[in-house]
Structure 1
């Protein structure tokens, strides 16, 4: 379970880094026009992975694969 979550986080960070590189790379106007859709696709992938990770954690909780830690609240 921890490995799946770790791989998802690495994928999310990788997609975010790719979008950042597409945004920050310099070049001519035609080159910038080509990178726009690539950056949008990388950001869409990041959002999709984040939603999938959330749904996977929710499903895991509902199926009983993971449980809350039950840490006490101290006031």
Structure 2
């Protein structure tokens, strides 16, 4: 499970870096640059949602347990 979360974080950071690259890239065709950047940001959002869903499923199946302050104290 730890490796899956680590892989998801790496994918999120790589996608964000890719969007930064396309944003800073000096191109003559602005539409291509914008669509590449938007696609990279859309992948980042998708990876974030996938990570959240995987954590939720792992919690429901009992693979991970919440810690912290107990409710009602």
Class of the TM-score when normalised by the shorter of the 2 chains: 0.7 to 0.9
Unpaired runs of 5+ residues, structure 2, are none
Question: 1:23 — aligned with what?
Answer: 23
Q: List aligned pairs for 1:1-75, cutoff 5 A.
A: 1-28=1-28, 30=29, 32-70=30-68
TM-score of the aligned structures, taking structure 1 as reference length: 0.85
C-alpha distance in 1 between matches for 2:68 and 2:13: 29
The size of the alignment, in residue pairs, is 70
Q: Which runs of 5+ in 1 are unaligned?
A: none
**TM-score (norm. length: structure 2):** 0.87
* CA-based RMSD: 1.4
Distance of 1:54 and 1:11 partners within structure 2 = 14
Which runs of at least 4 in structure 1 moved beyond 6 Å after TM superposition?
A: none
